[in-house]
Homo-oligomer: A and B are copies of this chain.
Amino acid sequence: MHHFARLDRERVRRVGVPEVILGEGKRVDHLLSIVRALSERKLGALLSRPTPAQVRALRAWHPEPGRPGLRFLADDRIVRVPGPLGTRYRHGVAAILTAGTSDVPLAEESRAVLRCLGIRVVRAYDVGVAGLHRLLTALHRVEAQRPEVYLVFAGREGALPTVVAGLVMAPVVGVPTSVGYGRGGRGEAALNAMLQSCAPLAVVNIDAAVPAALFAAQRFAERAPAGARRVLRRGP
């Protein structure tokens, strides 16, 4: 597209989920160029974690007349560039839990991505292990929807994913969040606790709400008839 960016439009056909363009770390003009190019080619996309300066620039930008504008989701942490994402998913439900209130903005990021892909989400927030009763009540309500995958967000001591993975049959992905201070703060204790868990549990990085959502989405992806194999046959 430009000398500084090459979008990978084939990725969704190979791996079943679209590339999500990370805002953080990119220059504002670089990001705008990417969005403009996508819009001109009538291609949809997802942006994540734009910086405040990027959000201002994106809100000030408008597509050519007749084209739909950007949609800002999850308190501006996810931006939907309208147009096809190239994905198709079967029906199914994903569950999102958080241990505390401070984890909610990250959980909403995952939820926005999953909903942009058309996947239904059931959520239960602020259900950490220091109050087992509220956790079990909430989990009972969530299980009634028969979710096929759980994303469980927790900062601080990060115990919630372990407890949930000891109670439900669907795979649980732990998402440590950068909540907490002092030794083990900023998500370090939570990440390590999840890695040490005795329960069957896979994890993503601290605050990695978008990769977690994409990993969960793959479960619902419908394999294109000859998709990934063809890519491999002709060489990458």
Q: Is the CB of B228 within 8 A of A168?
A: yes
| 0/1 interface trace, chain A 144-165, chain B, CB 8 Å (1 if under) | 1000000000011111001101
Q: Is the CB of B129 within 8 A of A167?
A: no
| 0/1 interface trace, chain A 162-204, chain B, CB 8 Å (1 if under) | 1101111111010010111111110111111111111111111
Q: Is the CB of B167 within 8 A of A231?
A: yes
Chain B residue numbers with a CB within 8 Å of A50 are: none
A127 vs B236: C-alpha distance in the bound complex, in angstroms? 13
Known: A101-B26, A182-B187, A236-B133. Is A14-B159 also a contact (CB below 8 A)? no
- Taken together, the copies of this chain in the complex come to 8
* A6 contacts partner chain B, Cβ-Cβ < 8 Å: yes
| 0/1 interface trace, chain A 109-153, chain B, CB 8 Å (1 if under) | 000000000000001011111111110101110011000000000
Q: Is the CB of A169 within 8 A of B218?
A: yes
User: Separation in Å of the A110 CB from the closest CB of chain B?
Assistant: 12
Total number of A residues with any Cβ neighbor in B under 8 Å: 103
Chain B residue numbers with a CB within 8 Å of A16 are: 169
Chain B residue numbers with a CB within 8 Å of A176 are: 182
Q: Is the CB of A218 within 8 A of B170?
A: yes
Q: Is the CB of A129 within 8 A of B159?
A: yes
Task: Please tell me which one of the listed residues B128, B132, B215 contacts residue A132 in the complex, with CB atoms under 8 A apart.
Answer: B132
Chain B residue numbers with a CB within 8 Å of A159 are: 129, 157, 159, 162-163, 193
* A17 contacts partner chain B, Cβ-Cβ < 8 Å: yes
* A27 contacts partner chain B, Cβ-Cβ < 8 Å: yes
Q: Is the CB of A11 within 8 A of B125?
A: no
A231 vs B5: C-alpha distance in the bound complex, in angstroms? 25
The residue of chain B having its C-beta at the shortest distance from the C-beta of A12 within the complex is B169
Binding site for B on A (CB under 8 A): 3-6, 8, 10-11, 14-17, 22, 24-27, 30, 100-102, 104-105, 123, 125-134, 136, 138-140, 143-144, 155-159, 162-163, 165-171, 173, 176, 178-185, 187-208, 211-212, 214-215, 217-219, 221, 223-224, 227-229, 231-233, 235-236
Top 4 A-B pairs, shortest CB-CB distance:
A184-B192, A182-B206, A132-B236, A235-B235
